[in-house]
Amino acid sequence: MGKQKLSSKGVQNSGCTKATLWWFYLVAACIKVLLFPSYRSTDFEVHRNWLAVTHSLPLSQWYFDETSPWTLDYPPFFAHFEHFLSMFAHLIDPKIVHLQEGLNYSANTVVYFQRGTVILSDLCLLYGVYRLTRNLDSRKQKLIWLSAIWSPMLFIVDHVHFQYNGFLIGILLISLSYLEEGRDLLGGFFFAVLLCLKHLFAVAAPVYFVYLLRHYCRGGIGRGFTRLLIMGGMVAAVFAAAFGPFFHLGQIQQVIRRLFPFGRGLCHAYWAPNFWVFYIMSDKGLAFILRRLGFNVQTPTATFTAGLVGDSSPFSVLPQVTPLVTFMMVLLALSPCLLKAWKDPKPQMISRWVAYAYACGFLFGWHVHEKASLHFVIPLAIVAVQTLEDAKHYFLLSIVSCYSLFPLLFEAQEYPIKVLLLLLHSILMWSGFSAQFPDGAETARAPTGHHTEKKVDQRKSNGGFVIGWIERMYLIGLVIVEIWGQFLHPLLLGDKLAFAPLMLISIYCALGIMYSWIWQLTFIVTSP
Amino acid sequence: MKGKGTSDTVSVVDGDGNQCCWWWWLVHKGTTTTFLIVGLFALLVRAAVSLHPYSGFANPPKFGDYEAQRHWMEITINLPIQEWYRNSTSNDLSYWGLDYPPLTAYQSFIHGLFLRFVHPESVSLFTSRGHESYLGKLLMRWTVLSSDLLILFPAVLYFVIVRYGQPSRSRKSDIGWHIAMLLLNPCLILIDHGHFQYNCISLGFTIGAVAGVLSGKDLVACVLYCLALNHKQMSAYFAPAFFSHLLGKCLRRKHPLLEVSKLGFYVLGTFAAVWWPYLYSKDSILEVLSRLAPFERGIFEDYVANFWCASSIIFKWKRLFRSESLRILSLTATVITCLPSMIQQIKSPSNRGFLYGLLNCSFAFYLFSFQVHEKSILLPLLPASLLAMEEPFIFKWFMQFAMLSMFPLICRDGLVVPYFALLALFILIFDAPGQQRVKEGNYLYNYLGATTVRLVLFCYFILHIVYLTMNPPEKYPFLFEAIIMNVCFSQFVLVTLGCNIKQWVLNKPTKLEVDKKFI
């Protein structure tokens, strides 16, 4: 359906729209405030330390300080962001920003302050969502807000586990909204800023590059070249503002070393549900079968998570995976999308392409965190209301990826919270999508709006929001996996095979994410 | 029951469609799904509040209500049932002795079994006193969550189904709003899941009883109300309302005496069933009863926004009168203030009048009875929340000051953050966008006037800030508490006066007919 153009009523409603958007944000903020005393990961101390580093030390020391093991490993703009926050932190409690005394500081002041900054920085997400949805009709808007602003994944990762993903994804959404409006220069600018905040977002850079090259720099060689120069100059300026000072100080190598720690392994401590899970599992399976058949298979000494220790491979049968291989695979997976973007750079498709790029990065990337699934789930929430197929896909994807975050909150105290968040999200999505895409019987009862006729046609051809039996079986399986991991496994096997439940979650969610990736790929390839 | 004329309805048609747009995603599947969504959200809020500290956290030697409840679990699972209320070497009644009716004891027993199964140290006899641990807190919190889920939530669903029998009649989003108002009562959540108590059980039974009365199932209502009464004796605040309404109804039937005796039989039966283990001798009954009546305590404790505490600034009641005469004085005052609404219900019982009667009677008890806790404000709040659709302004006004009246207690418990979050959440959901409800066109609002309302609200927020940030003068260490309590008391009096008048205005035959048609 694409975007509905602003109707006259929409203009009148815009004040009302903003009020509703604020309402969604504030309700979420209340819950986030209630979550203040919940479990927080070491990321909390990481960010506190960065506050201290940026506040107590001059710029030239930021990337050298090693007082705490949690050294600064985000790009300079994020360090500046922390520096900005640290000014307020200093006013509230000077101990927060003290380099030595502040280590592992856990008084209420620091908890409330840092958690508060995450809630406030979510305003960025709010603005991004607002920009992307302001021209949609009001029902779609609400559905998007439900899934993006009340995203259970953001609650789990940002407000319990502790990170600033809402802020960063907000900037991504702002960038996407400018691209959708055709204001490519600003879109490129915000993406460049995003890269200088967190370099992991660079996975989508090829998509951006191809899209901007073909969409912004079109219209003859001369005009294209000028525009390329403008865009290139702008991006270069952003990067210069970020990295220039360090370049000037001659520390650029140190900064790069911090940003790209290649000492880490293929997988994170908890395996993110991606392609490599299958690779590792088939390696184990093959080794087991070969051993049974009488072959002498060596048990590897290295582990997947610890990184490349010398030349020893963590795999017993399958070939070693290097960062370069993963890089090539990501590019290969991206190529159909890049081809599409090259052929026909349509602004309506950019959100999908970028989401797809992050999905590729998640599936095939090196040392992927399970949290990275946020990077494509939130942008996909924006397009989820466009067609019935999108809604079905997003419904499954958001549940699976949220479930894959469950191991992040491993303490019993947060168990009801994460389960309730996921349940609430699923039932809200189900109720919302069924309202948006009612089946034939319900169409008659749907309220009359200005787009009704169009919708009715579409609905008749598609049927209602019904989840297919494969998807339904898969979701039931998810419940079984959870019950097994939480209750049956400890009851039946005790402490034996303690890693098995986590592995099961990884493999099971990887199936769902693979499905989502294939679905996205098909959608992109087959889209006209 | 909209309080809205037909002429109003016509003008709302456009807004109606708009409203459907606002809440279509929430309500279009019907009441049950709406309830499920709001219920899950309410559970999430409860689970999040339960992360916060409880009363008496790390505060030996007496700790707080949390320790009391845990201690009751310890006593009930380790001692035979006859000794639960008896002072003995193994049951020191001066240390959080059981002082709630037997149903609370049974509930403690069941929860105690659960705790013993998972974490035996937390409920072992003697050694577990003052037990505080991560797992212990978690399990205790989960017992409240599950009680809420098992009793309050179904009761609310029952009430909503009874109250809005035909959803076509009232707009679906109104039902959703009312469910949210009932389930997201910030005071109840703070006290149960923050401070730590099990009010959800007795209040849940009461809501069930109210729904029973509304649907005409008086016998069910009787049993449920007796259960509420046997869980917390405080539920007696509602007794005059139930009594007068049911009596009034019986008197209108063919065989009034038979009807009354039938109800009496059910009441006695329920009581007998709950008190069965103690019915073997008169002494044992008296033993339990003496534990339930806290007459040895003063007329009020700490600071509570009722008449005795508010007026004690001028009259030092505790010094002027002996405890016995105070008891009689408070009883007389309570009965007198209950009477108007009781008489109204006996004269012309109606469903709507019954809800007002519940509010007025419980308010009379809160304002004038003996030994009232600040937490007892939950009881008048319950009928107010049941009336939220008819009296949105009064409900909101009352809720805000009920919260304020508990603020000093909440500060002691270290629950300031959830207090403000829940208050904000309540106001946000109360004033959720897309509502066409006329909230301000209320007699109390008109009486106060817009300027006064704003002024009072301004003072309301200033009071919070002052209480949090400033130290009281040394000469009057409880100055701020006294101010808060007097402000709250004045507003409570306004609310109950307004509702008493409203109940009597209802007493017109035409109104009654309208009433019957709508409920």
What number of residues does chain A have?
528
B242 or B126, which is more confident? B242
The dihedral built from the CA positions of residue B443, B306, B364 and B291, taken in this order, carries a sign that is positive
Instruction: Please name the residues in contact with A39: beta carbons below 8 A apart, sequence gap of 6 or more.
Output: A160, A161, A409, A411, A413, A414
Closest CA to B378 of B342, B414, B349, B402: B402
Q: Are B142 and A30 within 8 A, CB to CB?
A: no
Q: Which stretches of chain A sit within 8 Å of chain B by CB?
A: 16, 19-20, 23, 26-27, 30-31, 33-38, 112, 138-139, 142-143, 146, 412-413, 416-417, 420-421, 423-424, 427-428, 431-432, 434-436, 438, 442, 447-449
pLDDT tens figures, A319-333: 888 888 999 999 999
For residue B106, which amino acid is it?
Y
Residue A321's closest CA among A377, A352, A364? Answer: A364
What are A287's two structure tokens?
């080794």
Reported confidence tier of residue A89, pLDDT bands at 50, 70, 90: very high
pLDDT bin (cut points 50, 70, 90) of residue B150 is: very high
Q: With a cut of 90, say whether residue A153 has pLDDT above it.
A: yes
A46: its two tokens: 């990481």
The SS3 call for residue A73 is coil
* pLDDT > 90 in chain A, percent: 58
Predicted confidence at residue B303, as pLDDT, reads: 82
Q: Could you give the percent of chain A with pLDDT greater than 70?
A: 88
Whether pLDDT at B419 is above 90: yes
Exposed, middle or buried by CB within 10 Å (0-12, 13-18, 19+), for A67? middle
Select from A27, A36, A421 the Cβ nearest to the Cβ of B428.
Answer: A27
- Work out the mean pLDDT of chain A and round it to a whole number: 86
pLDDT surpasses 70 at B228: yes
Instruction: Say if CB B219 and CB B262 are below 8 A apart.
Output: yes
Q: Give the one of B25, B45, B420 whose C-beta lies nearest to A31's C-beta.
A: B45
Give the pLDDT confidence score for residue A350 in this predicted structure: 93
Q: Which pLDDT does position B21 carry in this prediction?
A: 57
Judge whether B367 and B493 are in contact, CB under 8 Å. Answer: yes
Q: Which residues pair with B300 in a beta bridge?
A: B372
Residue B441 confidence (pLDDT): 56
Q: Bridge-partner residues for B372, per DSSP? A: B300
CB spacing of B25 vs A139 below 8 angstroms: yes
pLDDT for the residue numbered B373? 87
More confident position, A47 or A294: A47
Inter-chain residue contact A416 with B47, CB threshold 8 Å: yes
Chain B positions touching A417 (Cβ under 8 A) are: 44, 47-48, 51
Amino acid, res. A23 = W
**Which pLDDT does position B450 carry in this prediction?**
83
Cβ contact B51–A35 (<8 Å): yes
Residue A301: pLDDT band with limits 50, 70, 90 = low
Q: For every residue of A300-361, which 3-state class applies, written as one string?
A: CCCCCCCCCCCCCCCCCCCCCCCHHHHHHHHHHHHHHHHHHHHHCCCHHHHHHHHHHHHHHH
**How large is the average pLDDT for residues A96-119?**
93
Q: What percent of chain B has pLDDT over 90?
A: 58
Q: How many whole angstroms separate alpha carbon B459 and alpha carbon B456?
A: 5
Nearest residue in B to A419, CA atom = B44
Interval B453-465 mean pLDDT: 92
**Each residue of B472-487: pLDDT tens digit?**
888 888 889 999 999 9
Buried b (16+ CB within 10 A) or exposed e, B153-167: bebbbbbbbbbbeeb
Phi-psi region for residue B58, left (φ > 0), alpha (ψ -120 to 50) or beta?
Answer: left
pLDDT given at position A2? 36
Look at residue A7 and tell me whether its pLDDT is greater than 50: no
Would you say A361 and A369 are in contact if contact means Cβ atoms under 8 Å apart?
no
Predicted confidence band at B115 (pLDDT cuts at 50, 70, 90)?
very high
CB atoms within 10 A of CB A138: 20
How far does the CA of residue B26 sit from the closest CA of chain A (Å)? 6
pLDDT in tens, A348-392: 999 999 999 999 999 998 888 888 999 999 999 999 988 888 999
Confidence of residue A307 (pLDDT cuts 50, 70, 90): very low
The better pLDDT of the pair B21, A401 is held by: A401
Residues of chain A found within 8 Å of residue B25, distances taken between Cβ atoms: 139, 142-143, 146, 428, 431-432, 435-436
How many CA atoms lie less than 13 Å away from B388 in the CB half-sphere?
24
Across B168-184, average pLDDT: 83
Q: What is the DSSP letter of A268?
A: -
Choose, out of B23, B44, B430, the residue to mutate when testing the contact with A (most A CBs < 10 Å).
B44
> Quick one: average pLDDT of A113-130?
96
Residue of A nearest to B432 (CA): A23
pLDDT of residue A297: 74
Task: Identify the band that residue A285 occupies on the pLDDT scale cut at 50, 70 and 90.
Answer: confident
Alpha helix stretches (DSSP H) within B184-251 = 186-189, 199-214, 218-231, 239-251
Mean pLDDT of chain B: 87
Question: B66 near B56, Cβ under 8 Å?
Answer: yes
**Amino acid making up residue A377:** V
pLDDT confidence of B170, banded at 50, 70, 90?
Answer: low
Chain B closest CA to A14's CA: distance in Å? 13
What are the pLDDT digits (tens) for A224-272?
889 999 999 999 999 999 999 999 999 898 998 888 876 677 776 667 8
Q: Dihedral of CA B245/B248/B253/B258: which sign?
A: positive
Residue B17 pLDDT greater than 80, yes or no = no
Question: Of all helices (H) and strands (E), which one includes residue B140?
Answer: helix B134-147
Q: Which residues contact A135 (CB under 8 A, 6 or more apart)?
A: A3, A4, A5, A6, A10
Shortest Cα–Cα distance, B207 to chain A (Å) = 25
**What pLDDT is stored for residue A295 in this prediction?**
81
Give the minimum alpha-carbon distance from B179 to chain A in angstroms, rounded to a whole number: 16
Q: Which amino acid is at A363?
A: L
pLDDT (mean) for A129-138: 90
| A250 phi and psi angles, rounded to 5 deg | 75, 25
> For residue A440, what are its two tokens?
């034939």
3-class SS of residue B488: helix
pLDDT band at B437 (very low <50, low <70, confident <90, very high): low
Res B8 pLDDT > 90? no
Structure tokens at B229: 């009464």
Of B21, B23, B25, which to mutate for an interface test with A (greatest number of A Cβ within 10 Å)?
B25
Cα(A29)–Cα(A122) distance, integer angstroms: 9
Which comes out higher in pLDDT, residue A428 or B322? A428
Inter-chain CB proximity B433 and A431 less than 8 Å = no
Tens digit of each residue's pLDDT (9 = 90 or more) over A434-481: 888 876 544 444 444 444 444 444 444 446 788 888 889 999 999 999
Mean pLDDT of B30-51: 93
**CB-based contact A30 B417, cutoff 8 Å:** no
Residue A308: Cβ within 10 Å count = 18
Q: Give yes or no for residue B147 having a pLDDT over 90.
A: yes
Cα separation, A465 vs B29, in Å, equals 13
Best mutation target, B24, B37, B142, to test chain A (most A CBs within 10 A): B24
- pLDDT of B62 > 70? The answer is yes
**What residue has token string 């089946």?**
A439
Among candidate residues B152, B195, B213, the one with its CA nearest the CA of residue B49: B195
Give residue B345's identity as a one-letter amino acid code. Answer: Q
pLDDT for position A14: 63
Given an 8 Å threshold on Cβ–Cβ distance, is B37 in contact with A142?
A: no
Q: Write the residue in A19, A112, A424 that is nearest to B433 by C-beta.
A: A19
pLDDT for residue B68 is more than 80? yes
Closest among B400, B401, B418 to B410, alpha carbons compared: B418
Contact at CB, A413 and B33, closer than 8 angstroms: no
A447 contacts B21? CB cut-off 8 A: yes
Q: Given a cut of 90, is residue A91 above it in pLDDT?
A: yes
Distance in Å from the first CA to the final CA of chain B: 7
Is B25–A146 a contact, with Cβ atoms under 8 angstroms apart?
yes
Determine the 3-state secondary structure of A422 from DSSP: helix
| Residues B485, B486, B490: CA angle, nearest 5 degrees | 120
Residue B4 one-letter amino acid: K
> Which ipTM was obtained for this model?
0.90
